[in-house]
Every structure is written in C-alpha cells, then in structure tokens.
Structure 1
Amino acid sequence: MSAERMLKTELRKAALARRDALDPFWRVEASLEMAETGKAAIDFDPGTIVSGFWPMRSEVDVRPLMFALREKGARLCLPAILDRQTMVFRELVRGAPLVDMGFGTAGPGEEADVLDPSVMLVPLAAFDSRGHRIGYGAGYYDRAIARLQAKGMTPRLIGIAFDCQEVPVVPNEWHDVIIPELLTQSGMRQFL
C-alpha cells in the first residue's frame, strides 16, 4: 500500500470516529438545518436530475434536503451498486417501493429508471480546505463521476459532511475527484 493510501486510511478512520462521536439528536438537528441551507443555495432548472444518498451509520441525513429539492422541481435518484466496480443512479419516485441496497441503506429496485444526475450530493468520510475528499475507499463515486464525464457531462458536485470531518490535507492521488462545493452545518463552502 502506498504512503498516500495509508495516510488516507488513517485520516478516514479519525474523521469517521469524530463523526460517530457526535450526539445523534444533534446530527438530526444539523441535518434539518443543512436542508434549509441547501434548499436556498442549490439552484437548478425544474426537472434537473439530482442524486442523493440514503444515509448510513452516522452520515448526514440528506433525505430532508432531497425532499426540499424535490419541492423545487428536482427529479431525485439514489445510487445502486451493481457489482464491485459499477454504481448507477436509479430514480426515486414518491410511493415506489425501496429495497435493501446493502450497507444499511435502501433505494429503488431494478424496475426504476437509471438516470444521469446533473447535480450530485456526494457523501464522504473526510475533506480538506481545497475540496479534496476521502470517500469510503471503494472508489464508486470516483468511477461514477468519471463515467458521466466520459458521456460529456459535468455534474455539479456538492460534498455533504459535518465540519468535524475536515482534515488538514488529503493526499492527492491521480484518480481523485475534487469537490468544488461542500455543505456542512456551518453553511455552503466553495473551493474552486
């Protein structure tokens, strides 16, 4: 394992431990506050496809934000992992059944339409002041974003995290995707 990977592993572990230590009731309140901030800060045309995610463990609960964006006219989708390399985004339709997606998450089943998001709410384990992120280590988002870019798309990427997940510096690796915007309980931050 490279020195960069080893450092990322340590930074991820420490940031997730800080996030896990947050009071669960405080996390709920912070998630609701972030939904209000995000609703005001994220502009798009009606019908724009926005990907969110079903929260796992101590992640920010973006469901209130997703539903606020739906009220503004967004079409929502959630990630679905198809195999060890591929993640797609399936449309989240009101009233449609959700299925177990693994990792304690849920999402639309195979019958849901696969969509290409123009706005992506991106989960992360850690981030730095340059917009570099550390994911959970499997690279699903990096590959999904690269697939969209290969189609000629440039989705708006908005990282979602709590302030305590910030680290001094994320080591650079060639495949890393930089997140230009980040929403935390302190507000929306712009990096680029």
Structure 2
Amino acid sequence: MTDVLKTKAELRAARLAARDAIPPVERIEKSLLIASHGAEAISLDAGAIVSGFLPIRSEVDVRPLMAHLRNRSARLCVPVILDKKTIVFRELVRGGELVPGVFGTFGPGPDAAELEPQVMLVPLSAFDAGGHRIGYGGGYYDRAIHRLQQKGLNPTLIGIAFDCQEVASVPVEPHDIRLDAVLTESGYRPFEDMGRAQIG
C-alpha cells in the first residue's frame, strides 16, 4: 500500500507541476475550450443540481461552464470544507457572498443551502484512460461521493483537467471511485461503465 501511495504522490507532483507550467493566458484559453466542449456534451434535466468549484492555484477555471449550465436552469453548488474529513456542497447563487475557506478557497457561507449534486465537476491532479483519478491527497471527494451513494444517490462524475494531467496508469486503492467522464481542452471523453470502485 505504501508503494501505491508513493506512486500516487509522484504522479500528483509531476502532473501538478505540468499544470502550473501552463502560461496564464494559455490556461484561460484552454479553460474556455473546456467550457465550450462541456456545454455541448453535458445534458441536464431542468433544475438539475450541479457541483462545480471556484478555481485555486492553476486549476481549470470552470466558471464559464458553470455559468452556461446555470443559464440552462441548473442549480449550482460548490464544495466547502467543514473539517479535516468533510466537504459539503453549498448553493452558489447570483450575487451571494463568498467567504474565505481553507487552502485559499472561497465559498458560500453557512447560511447557504446545502445541496446534493446530481452532476459533479470534479477537480483532480491526474487521470488515466480508464477513468481513475488522483485528487489532491485529502480524500474529500471520495468521501463526499461515498456519502451520496450511501443515500442511494449516484451522481455523474466528470473530471475536469488539462490534457497535460493525463498519465498512463493511476494505481487504484479500494476506496477510489471512478469517473464517468473527463473533460479537457481536447473534448469530453466518457468512460465505459465497468463498475466503479466502492468503499468497503
């Protein structure tokens, strides 16, 4: 297990360094391409709840895509870290106040409604062609998705990344949950449903 964690840490560091190396202007252009591909590929029911995220560091800026989905009547929410193990998804409303969180994040305050996403735009550090992802090492999303699944919910998981974050293979641990698709500047790539890993 230590080898798996070591390999993940090495892949995470290398792919985040590659992402950091994208010039800011190029990152904006790639983010707009990602929004364009996502707008065409993501189908939603009216009023569907979509979780996005407000970008930090060199992450893809998914706000243009989120704005497009909102215009198609989606209800938007973003993750807010409550403690060392838990994130909740608070509704993001037009003109709503954002408060500082941990790791340089911002999000809606405690007065905002907590929602259960049906479609999740998932940040990541690395991914492979099998739909496996490496997050940032905290396990927040895996636990949040597991919590939704325990309630009988099965959100569509769409990884958000730049092409440079793809790796040949991600080592898989029992608690890891596969993505349904990944969205990069090259387009929207759905993965075959081979059954997601479940937390035991």
Q: Same fold (TM over 0.5)?
A: yes
2-side partners of 1:72 and 1:165: how far apart?
29
- Report what 2:65 is aligned to: 65
Paired AA for residue 70 in structure 1: R
1:95 aligns to what SS in structure 2?
coil
Pairing of 1:142-153 with structure 2 (within 5 A)? 142-153=142-153
Partner of 1:27: 27
Deviation at 1:37, TM superposition (A): 1.1
Separation (CA, whole Å) in 2 of partners of 1:156 and 1:172: 20
Amino acid of the structure 2 residue aligned with 1:51: S
Structure 2: stretches of 5+ with no match in the other structure = 193-200
Deviations 1:82-131 (A, max 9, x none): 11111100000101111112222211000000000000000000001101
In the alignment of these two chains, the number of paired residues is 192
CA displacement, residues 49-104 of structure 1 (integer Å, 9 cap, x when unaligned): 00000111001000111011000110000001111111100000101111112222
Tell me which amino acid in the other structure corresponds to 1:188: Y
Cα separation, 2, equivalents of 1:45 and 1:128: 29
- The TM-score with structure 2 as length reference comes to 0.94
> Over the residues paired in the alignment, what is the CA RMSD in angstroms?
0.8
Larger proportion of strand: 1
Partner Cα distance (2:172, 2:30) in 1: 30
- Structure-2 residue corresponding to 1:133: 133
Displacement of 1:172 in angstroms is: 1.0
User: Which moved further from structure 2: 97-106 or 161-170?
Assistant: 97-106
Secondary structure of 1:44's match?
Answer: coil
Cα distance in 2 between the residues matched to 1:69 and 1:180: 18
SS of 2:146 mapped into structure 1: helix
The within-5 A match list for 1:35-114 is: 35-114=35-114
Rounded to whole Å, the distance in 2 between the matches of 1:40 and 1:106 is 28
Distance 2:73 2:28 in 1: 24
Please name the residue that 2:196 is paired with: none
**Distance in 2 of aligned mates of 1:121 and 1:32:** 15
Alpha-carbon separation, structure 2, partners of 1:128 and 1:38 = 19
Q: Which stretch has the larger CA shift, 111-120 or 96-105? A: 96-105
Q: Which residue of 1 aligns with 2:198?
A: none
For 1:189 and 1:45, the matched residues in 2 are separated by 20
User: Residue 12 of structure 1: CA displacement?
Assistant: 0.3
User: Quick one: which amino acid aligns to residue 124 of structure 1?
Assistant: L
Could you tell me how far apart the structure 2 residues matched to 1:38 and 1:55 are? Answer: 17
Secondary structure of the structure 2 residue equivalent to 1:54? coil
- Name the SS for the 1:177 alignment partner: coil
Residue 12 (1) aligns with residue 12 (2) = yes
Separation of aligned partners in 2, 1:42 and 1:148: 21
Query: For 1:104 and 1:145, how far apart are their aligned partners in 2?
Result: 23
Distance 1:45 1:68 in 2: 14
State the TM-score, normalized to the length of structure 1: 0.98
- Pair 1:187 & 2:187 matched: yes
- Kindly report structure 1 stretches of 4+ aligned residues shifted beyond 6 Å: none
SS of 2:101 mapped into structure 1: strand
